Amino acid sequence: MAAPVSIRGVSRQFGETWALRPTDLEIKAGEFVALVGPSGCGKTTLLRLVADLVAPTSGEVRIGNDTAAEARRKRLLGLVSQRPAVLPWKRAIDDVRFTQKIAGKVGFDPAKVLRDFGLEGHEGKRARQLSGGMLQRVNIASAMAHDPAVLLMDEPFSALDEMKREEIGEWFDRELALRPKTVLFVTHHIDEAVMLADRLLVFSASPGVVAEIVSVDVPRPRDPSFRQDPRFVAIAAHVRGLLMHKAVALS
């Protein structure tokens, strides 16, 4: 189950700093939106506003008919942060169970969730015994275990090497086709964003401003060969140009 996300005039100021200038964005249920831009431009702040972890200075976030706070209470959200949230000595299966316990959702089997995520035989392993790629899958499995309507992901693959990163991206794309979710996904990796997203929010270097929204009108899940597609190449080059231009404009 996926839900639409409505961002209406949402801004956030920290003291004198505009982490996010007033922003409007309508995200359809099941849509994948990537947030790209230089460090400090407000990407994490936007995720935290949707997650109800930070309050807006102005405006309102809606998840379906719920406010962000109601959505949080109803456990409609799943959050994956940049640093793996799994403690080194914790077992993979316990991590998934913990998420379900917090969400108050019983009745489906944590071992099955891990099997679905390609982690059969690793359920009892502790986090420190798992590879980076496996750990990230546990992380994402935990965030998805209670079947949230919206997934908020902050640079979830940044700890992985390039090959693993592509592999997990492809796996995640297929996974979303099976269990659709609305996704907000922060990444510094332009190719990854173009590969996975329906739309890219490209932030400008001056903080808190969305410079352009770029659409990738190609159905998901996408075949790995899409990387060689002229449309992919053109969109990635356009986004790269936007980011370089904005960075230059500031210096």
Footprint of Mg ion (CB under 5 A): 44
Per-residue contact string for residues 88-127; x = within reach of ligand ADP by CB under 6 A: ----------------------------------------
Nearer to ligand ADP, 17 or 67 (CB): 17
Which is nearer to ligand ADP, 195 or 210 (by Cβ)? Answer: 210
Q: Which residues contact 3 (CB under 8 A, 6 or more apart)?
A: 29, 63, 64, 71, 76, 149, 150, 182
**Minimum distance from CB of 57 to ligand ADP (Å)?**
12
- The residue at minimum Cβ distance from Mg ion is 44
Judged by beta carbon, residue 44 or residue 182, the one nearer ligand ADP is 44
Residues 197-226 binding ligand ADP (CB under 6 A) are: 207
Q: Residue type for 15, please? A: G
- Binding partner of residue 181 among ligand ADP, Mg ion, none, CB cut-off 5 to 8 Å per kind: none
Q: Does 40 bind ligand ADP (CB under 6 A)?
A: yes
> Token pair for residue 168?
């997990």
16 touching ligand ADP, by CB under 6 A: no
Q: Which is nearer to Mg ion, 44 or 139 (CB)?
A: 44
**Binding region for ligand ADP (CB under 6 A) out of 36-44, 107-115, 164-172, 211-219:** 36-44
Which CB, 99 or 204, lies closer to ligand ADP?
Answer: 204
Number of residues binding to ligand ADP, judged by CB under 6 A = 11
The correct pick among 10, 41, 61, 243 for binding ligand ADP (CB under 6 A) is 41
Beta carbon of residue 243, minimum distance to ligand ADP (angstroms, whole number): 12
Identified binder of ligand ADP from the candidate list 9, 17, 87, 245, rule CB under 6 A: 17
Q: 130 or 202, CB closer to Mg ion?
A: 202
First to last CA, the chain: 44
Q: How far is CA 100 from CA 38, 109, 134, 203, 245, in A?
A: 35, 10, 19, 34, 45
Q: Cα–Cα distance between 138 and 132 in angstroms, integer?
A: 10
Of 53, 47, 60, which is closest to residue 11 (Cα–Cα)?
Answer: 60
Which positions lie near ligand ADP, rule CB under 6 A? 14, 17, 19, 39-45, 207
